[in-house]
A and B are shown apart, each in its own frame.
Chain A
Amino acid sequence: MNALTRSAPWRGTAWIMGKLGISGRTLVIAIPMLWLLIFFLAPFFVLGRISLAEAIIARPPYTPLFERGPDGTLEIIASFENYRFLLADALYRNAYLSSIQVALISTIFALLIGYPIAYYIARAPEPKRSILLLMVILPFWTSFLLRVYAWMGFLRSNGVINNTLISLGLIDSPIQMMQTDFAVYIGIVYTYLPFMILPLYANLTKLDGALLEAAGDLGASPMTTFFTITLPLSLPGIVAGSMLVFIPAIGEYVIPALLGGPDTLMIGRVLWDEFFSSRDWPVASAVAIVMLFLVVAPIMWLQSVQNRREES
């Protein structure tokens, strides 16, 4: 390290920065700040600006925001036509609504499957607990695309499930599971299950066992204890886990594209098709902006719930 700070380029840079009045501290702050301002925040302004343009056949395929008027003045051309189009067209409205519906149903399924697992892990003794926890997280790290692909082989008409059921003699002809909404729910629950389990687990380990014992001593059945003590106390974990499933599920593209049928409408897919197939960048941008609000609203709500809880 000493060799570095004593080297000529290092001292030269330090000298120039000193002359310009930039301290090392400012530079350290500036690197991540500038990167994120340019590549995270600025894109949203570009997105918003292009959502107000019109699609044309040119490069780039949208109208400019500023144009020189006949007398040389700069005119701003912006129209909310794309947004009006989104509101008027039933396709987009239905896509937004059905995205919310699919995300909601998947979240409920994820909760029903994830809660018992989280509860069981939270109650398990070490080292069983760590091993189970690792087993929950492990599939999450293996490729997302390939995990969805794995379900294609499972759900197809001559896939693993149908073949097993037929060879067991339970059904005569394959059940149609691929290209249905059911397959999309499975895909989403499967992909985002760890996101549900981890916050629930974190919450349930903090649960005071003495409360459960007290309830039991006072004659409450395990069922009553669960519904009057465990469930209400784990509500923050339920909310956090549900949000972590619900939010990414709304914008999902790959799962409905691979597992859903042609009539599985989801907004991420509509945006993708609008961009890649119709090549209508302004409408795609408007779809993205509306979707952004759909995603930001639950996050803001979650934040305010958390803040209120911390205050009380």
Chain B
Amino acid sequence: MRGWFLPLAVLFGFIFLYAPILSLIVFSFNESRLVTVWGGFSTRWYGELLRDRQILNAAWISLKVAFWSATLATIIGTLGAFVLTRFSRFTGRLLLTGMITAPLVMPEVITGLSLLLLFVSMELTLGWPAGRGLTTIVIAHTTFCAAFVAVIAQSRLRQMDESLEEAARDLGAGPVRVFFDVTLPVIMPALVAGWLLAFTLSLDDLVIASFVSGPGASTLPMVIFSKVRLGVSPDVNALATIIIGIVLVAVLIAGWLMRRAMRNPL
């Protein structure tokens, strides 16, 4: 694997990764309605996007869902990671280990369908949740996002110097104080990164949301999917460019925080 073959293969690989995204961005500034035929530079589709109530509504719903899912997922994922790294023995440890990582590999169609059936059964027997909408999407997203947060939090908690916590305990701090005054500040950058990751994952999900949402609670991916199914349309290109820009900034911030957290030996 020396000489010209390897660099060429790598170049091909990166073109494969980036060319479609770049062309998507370029054609979002296209005047013509024919998405892939260049008709001159214009920001017309961005303007059209801002007047599309359906897309704006869906975007607002998606942002709300992503905010709450990411927040809940960070709490649950962090608690799960904390319990698994700090409590070596308790009933159901193996079960919790399995349950917290399994959502990472579960096909979305299965997660979506099974959660919907759970919500329907719960509504029939308990009367809650009444109907489906924002709440059910938040619950579903929290469950699978918590798995990702737990992975990040776990690696940070393992790497952290536990003698700090011991010192605090020796100085007479109770377990709650040790957690909030010592552990939490140290792992905070990792948790922020986890929150951002959960936020983008929730914002991006189509399949699970389609199963568990109800009338009047269409998320942005659901609206995009129904538009895109009929073919390419230039306003979706504009929307895609905006989303890619936002996600890129969020990811770069998360990555920077992670790096800083890992370099910090505490």
Contact = CB atoms under 8 A, between A and B. Distances in A.
Interface in A158-179: 158-160, 163
A145 to B, nearest CB: 5
A32 B17 contact: no
Interface string A136-151: 1011011111110111
A5 interface: yes
Contact of B244 (A29, A146, A292): A146
B37 A145 contact: no
Interface residues of A, number: 80
A251 B109 contact: yes
B10 A117 contact: yes
A134 B256 CA distance: 11
Contact of A153 (B181, B200, B232, B251): B232
Interface stretch (B40-48, B50-58, B115-123, B158-166): B115-123
Nearest to B237: A153
Given A145-B225, A251-B108, A257-B229, A28 B83 contact: yes
Contact of A39 (B10, B120, B143, B207): B143
Interface in B32-87: 34-37, 75-77, 79-80, 82-83, 87
A40 B180 contact: no
A156 B174 CA distance: 64
Best-buried of A32, A50, A136 by chain B (most CB within 10 Å): A32
Contact of B9 (A116, A250, A288): A116
B114 A288 contact: yes
Contacts of B9: 113, 116-117, 120
Interface string B211-255: 100000000010011001101100011001001100110010001
Given A25-B87, A154-B23, A145 B204 contact: yes
Contacts of A32: 76-77, 79-80, 83, 96, 100, 146
A53 to B, nearest CB: 10
B232 A43 contact: no
A87 interface: no
Contact of A142 (B6, B210, B248): B248
A295 B110 CA distance: 11
Interface in A268-312: 268, 271-272, 275-276, 281, 284-285, 288, 291-292, 295, 299
Q: How large is the interface on B (under 10, 10 to 19, 20 to 34, 35 or more residues)?
A: 35 or more
A33 B87 CA distance: 14
A184 B232 CA distance: 17
A83 B31 CA distance: 53
Interface string B130-160: 0000000001101100100000000000000
A226 interface: yes
A139 B232 contact: no
B2 A222 contact: yes
A272 B210 CA distance: 10
B117 A285 contact: yes
Of A1, A4, A141, A163, which is in contact with the most chain B CB atoms at under 10 Å from its CB?
A141
Scoring B109, B139, B248 by chain A CB atoms within 10 A of each residue's CB, the highest score goes to: B109
B34 A158 contact: yes
Interface in A27-43: 28-29, 31-33, 35-37, 39-43
Nearest to A1: B180
Interface string B81-101: 011000100101001100110
A152 B10 contact: no
Contact of A145 (B19, B95, B120, B206): B206
Contacts of B100: 32, 36
B164 to A, nearest CB: 15
Nearest to A2: B177
A142 B113 contact: no
Contacts of B37: 158, 163
Contacts of B232: 149, 152-153, 156
Contact of A40 (B14, B103, B117, B236): B103
Nearest to A42: B118
Contacts of A92: none
16 contacts: A1-B180, A5-B174, A25-B87, A28-B82, A33-B92, A39-B143, A116-B10, A142-B21, A152-B228, A153-B232, A154-B19, A190-B16, A222-B2, A230-B1, A251-B110, A284-B113
Interface of B: 1-2, 5-7, 9-10, 12-14, 16-21, 23-24, 27, 34-37, 75-77, 79-80, 82-83, 87, 90, 92, 95-96, 99-100, 102-103, 105-111, 113-115, 117-118, 120-121, 124, 139-140, 142-143, 146, 174-177, 180-181, 200, 203-204, 206-207, 210-211, 221, 224-225, 228-229, 231-232, 236-237, 240, 243-244, 247-248, 251, 255
